[in-house]
Amino acid sequence: MKKTVLSVLLLGISAAAWAQNAVIKGKFEREKGGNVSASQIYLFKTVEGEIVPYSMIPLTRQDHSFQVQVGDSDLNVIRYIGFEDEVYPIYMRKGDTLTIDGGLGEVAYSGTVNNENKVFADWYKIMMPLRKYGYTKEGWLRAHDHYATTLDSIVAPAEKFMSTVNTGNKKFDTYVKMMLPYSFRMDAMLPFTEGIGYEKRDKYPAFLVNLFNTEKYSDPQIWTLPFGYSYIQSHGFVRHYIYNAESGFLEDVIVPEITDPMLRANYVLTLLDRHEYQNMAKFVNKNKQYMVTKEQKKKMAVLEKRANVKEPGGEAIDFAYPDMAGKVHHLKDFRGKVVLVDVWATWCKPCLAEQPALETLEKSFEGKDVVFLSISIDTEKDKWKNMVETKKLSGLHLYSNNQGSMLKDYEIVSVPRFILFDKNGKMVSYDAIRPSDPKLKELIESKI
């Protein structure tokens, strides 16, 4: 009897706790065969012109449903929920229980639909006919014949809706009135980023032609949007490559067109962070002039070093890691000698396959001014140490624990990775050929 009472009490406490907090539940679906997993969705927040996932929500295998409790930090702010390539805004208050069913360009808000979420619900009802062209295969196939008519029919009701947003939440209303026009433009351009286009420019809807001719990226608030960076990229791509049928590298076309200085600087830095450039050194040298704040200039200075080190003759960026005895070694300690850095891991089969050739290469340079520096990215130190000792691996072995400046400065995203420096600490090969290739020996010999 006591156990029964206790169980009922605990259930009551649990139910009360959920009632006091906000809860989101519903279903999310997507077309089969896509590149994004349909087994989970995420909660996102806006950070520097992009959405960043911060909480993974599993979907049930049976019906793709979910339920999640929202923390205090996610109340009374706009967050986003959905797949990585299809998200929907939500605004939760304490005690709300919102049901959101989304996917394939459509979404329905039900349950406790507060004033803010009603704005989103009503907005997507207007946008739904347009969004199917960008989010479903069937819609994309029909876009050539029906897209322009659909877009034209939505412009007037969309503009009227945006002008009448009034929830009583002044901060929310101000932001959403700014956000929705850009959201509309993103939906209008999406089918073109997926590959559709018209043979003649006079076939393009007036809404898009006006957007192409008037957008100067002069609004700094673009960077507060969850799709700020994507908006600039999409607009530039559709305008220059699809509508104008131009050629060239997108980053070289867009940057000079951004008229707001802060927006331009943020765009340049984000593009560099995402590695969306053809030649980093050239891009940095051309666009470092656009940095505005001290923080931006400092970040660009770091990126400039990383760009230069990629180029033959570029100045090495120092790093330091401990050996098995705990002694720390810097790259700069070996000035006056040619240095071959081998980044590897005990679990990496290609790394281990190169080991015999690396041992042979090292023996061939005994007594010469050549240093072989092996840096492990293992996170299990004992396993690394045991392999080095058991196999009696030659060279100087250092342990990174998959951390440290080298991983970012030299963009270590896979192993094995070999980097060759000359005696003056200048870059010879940022991504050198492997020891099993005789040409590596020839390259080292040319630098002694």
Domain residue limits, the chain: 22-113, 320-445
Q: Is the pTM of this model over 0.95?
A: no
E strand or H helix at 379: none
Q: How far is CA 57 from CA 22, 24, 27, 70, in A?
A: 15, 11, 11, 11
Give the pLDDT score at 15.
Answer: 46
CATH 3.40.30.10 correct for 320-445: yes
Confidence band (pLDDT; 50, 70, 90) for 243? very high
The pLDDT of residue 33 is 60
> How do beta strands 86-91 and 370-376 pair?
unpaired
What token pair was written down for 286?
């051309």
Among candidate residues 357, 328, 332, 334, the one with its CA nearest the CA of residue 344: 357
CA–CA gap between residue 167 and residue 444 (Å, rounded):
69
Q: Is 253 exposed, middle or buried (0-12, 13-18, 19+ CB in 10 A)?
A: middle
pLDDT cut 70: percent of the chain above it: 94
pLDDT at 58: 97
41/28 Cα distance (integer angstroms): 8
Average pLDDT over residues 39-51: 97
Mean pLDDT of 63-71: 96
Interval 89-101 mean pLDDT: 98
Q: Check whether 325 has a pLDDT greater than 60.
A: yes
* 3-class secondary-structure state, position 314: coil
pLDDT (mean) for 314-327 = 97
Whether the per-residue pLDDT at 83 is higher than 50: the answer is: yes
- The answer to whether 62 and 138 are in contact (CB under 8 A) is no
CATH number of the domain at 22-113, please? 2.60.40
Q: Is the pLDDT of residue 17 over 60?
A: no
Is residue 46 within 8 A of residue 120, CB to CB? The reply is: no
Rounded to an integer, what distance in angstroms lies between the CA atom of residue 389 and that of residue 386?
5
Backbone angles phi, psi at 405, to 5 degrees: -65, -30
Q: How confident is the model at residue 375 (pLDDT cuts 50, 70, 90)?
A: very high
Distance of alpha carbon 151 from alpha carbon 159, whole angstroms: 12
Is the pLDDT confidence value at 3 over 90? no
* pLDDT interval class at 199 (50, 70, 90): confident
Structure confidence at residue 20 (pLDDT): 64
| Mean per-residue pLDDT over the chain, rounded | 93
